[in-house]
Amino acid sequence: MDKPTENIWIADDDRSIRWVLERALQKADITARCFETADQVLSALRTAEPDVLLTDIRMPGTDGLVLLKKMQQEHPDIPVIIMTAHSDLDSAVMAYQGGAFEYLPKPFDINEAVELVRRASRLRHESRSTDINTKAAKLIEGGEIIGKAPAMQEVFRAIGRLSKSSITVLITGESGTGKELIAKALHTHSPRAKQPFIALNTAAIPSELLESELFGHEKGAFTGAYAQRKGRFEQADGGTLFLDEIGDMPAELQTRLLRVLAEGTFYRVGGHLPVEVDARIIAATHQNLEELVKKGSFREDLFHRLNVIRIHSPPLRERRDDIPLLLQTFLRHAAEELHVDIKTLSPKVSDFLQSRTWAGNVRQLENTCRWLTVMASAQEVVMDDLPTELLEHEEEQAVIQGDWDKILAQYADRQLAGGSK
């Protein structure tokens, strides 16, 4: 057997993690050296260096992110894989921000970890660039992306990798999965973060008004056009334009959009002078655009313009482990909006909600939490408090009806009636 040529260092204060990784790497004929602290790694680097470093984020003394920063300063060619049990967007972005080669949330599949080490080592030996730094400006404001499920970790990785770029992105996924939150995160963690983020749901605007909404119009362009108006493209100049439900865009506007993407210029409705614009496009759809292209209802050339990088927003049924954390977050938000105490869920209710298929995905779950905050009579929510839609429809084809304003109106009526249900 050939002598192993790969030399991997592992830094983690968890002895069991070090042991498992060391054994797995040795079994794969990879030499492993373990350290309990980042300071031990820094000391060892004075006389030797690894092909790849795996390090935890949170360790006693110097933490993994400080170690990562020093590695980037003094040994930028060594790939660093960040391990963390805190598998949220913040941790992922911080890892990539520091220059991590990859982000590995715990618990991880040991075979995948070994393969990741091999890939990092191979890339280094082949002298390929492994710089996937990010320059995330700040945490997401005005919204949260929550998730520890593997499907959400892929989303976090994509946001981290794209954070130095203004490339066009297509977000796919069912309705209610949080595609706009992903778009906002891509904008917030990008070079355009300080510029406008403009969102437009193309399915929500009547087709006869959509052209003016996108491109603006000149005074007198049509009846009622009493003044010049800038469209969403101009409003997003320098920043990001998020086009939701792009699959519903009329064919004639698809042609205009394609021209803007290709040339960076357009004409306002009724205008004769070209308008230059620099806006990053992030599009989203719940439809299968490939099928729409085959049917002839969506331009193939526009599809390829938009489908540069694709991110899939997973349905809630594929990330059930995230439901308890989402429930806790949404119940807290609803209580803060109403200025009431946070509702708690009985174990039976919690188990029941986690078992649902949630046809409306995260949006339906959030509306359920708002409904319970308003309508549940006691502090602890029991099965009798649940909406009949959840109790009666196993397949949950109908999302809870009624918007937040209506729920608040019901709450106000109850308060005026002395709290009677």
- Does residue 308 share a domain with residue 323? no
pLDDT value of residue 400: 43
Tokens of 37: 């602290």
> Concatenated DSSP letters for 230-279?
--HHHHTTTSEEEEETGGGS-HHHHHHHHHHHHHSEE--BT--S-EE---
258: number of CA atoms within 13 Å, CB side? 15
Region for 216 from its dihedrals, namely left if φ exceeds 0, alpha if ψ lies in -120 to 50, beta otherwise: left
Q: Closest by alpha carbon to 272, among 228, 240, 335? A: 228
Cα(326)–Cα(235) distance, rounded to whole angstroms?
A: 33
Give the C-alpha distances (Å, rounded to integers) separating 237 from 188, 234, 275, 384: 15, 5, 11, 51
Domain's final residue, options 127, 162, 178: 127
Query: If the chain, 421 residues long, is cut into consecutive pieces of 10 residues, what is the mean pLDDT of each piece?
Result: 67 92 91 92 88 90 88 85 76 75 85 89 58 30 68 88 89 94 92 93 87 84 76 92 95 92 88 90 96 95 94 94 91 91 93 91 93 91 88 49 54 58 45
**Phi and psi torsions of 273, nearest 5°:** -110, 135
Query: Is 170 in contact with 284 (CB distance < 8 Å)?
Result: yes
Name the one residue in this structure whose structure tokens are 């390829």: 304
- Does residue 178 share a domain with residue 283? yes
- Does residue 158 share a domain with residue 299? yes
pLDDT value of residue 4: 43
Q: Closest by alpha carbon to 8, among 92, 97, 131, 101? A: 101
Q: Is residue 132 part of a domain?
A: no
Containing structural domain, residue 382: 318-418
Tokens of 352: 């029941």
Secondary structure of 34-69 as H, E, C letters: EECCHHHHHHHCCCCCCCEEEEECCCCCCCHHHHHH
- Does residue 232 share a domain with residue 97? no
- Does residue 106 share a domain with residue 67? yes
Query: Is 135 in contact with 96 (CB distance < 8 Å)?
Result: no
pLDDT value of residue 131: 36
- Does residue 112 share a domain with residue 162? no
- Does residue 163 share a domain with residue 121? no
Give the C-alpha distances (Å, rounded to integers) separating 401 from 81, 177, 218: 45, 17, 40
pLDDT value of residue 318: 92
Q: Is residue 142 part of a domain?
A: no
Cα(342)–Cα(356) distance, rounded to whole angstroms?
A: 22
Q: Is residue 411 part of a domain?
A: yes
Q: Is residue 164 part of a domain?
A: yes
- Does residue 243 share a domain with residue 201? yes
Q: Is residue 145 part of a domain?
A: no
**Phi and psi torsions of 94, nearest 5°:** -60, -40
Q: Is residue 94 part of a domain?
A: yes
- Does residue 166 share a domain with residue 201? yes
Which residues are bridge partners to 345 per DSSP?
381
Tokens of 34: 């373990």
Domain's final residue, options 127, 161, 192: 127
Q: Is residue 295 part of a domain?
A: yes
- Does residue 285 share a domain with residue 328? no
Domain harbouring 247, CATH code: 3.40.50.300
- Does residue 306 share a domain with residue 176? yes
Q: Is residue 233 part of a domain?
A: yes
Which residues are bridge partners to 31 per DSSP?
7
Domain's final residue, options 312, 342, 366: 312
- Does residue 166 share a domain with residue 114? no
pLDDT value of residue 404: 56
Q: Closest by alpha carbon to 232, among 255, 251, 259, 205? A: 205
Domain count, the chain: 3
Cα(54)–Cα(18) distance, rounded to whole angstroms?
A: 10
Domain harbouring 47, CATH code: 3.40.50.2300
pTM above 0.85, yes or no: no
363: number of CA atoms within 13 Å, CB side? 19
Domain harbouring 346, CATH code: 1.10.8.60
Name the one residue in this structure whose structure tokens are 């949220």: 88
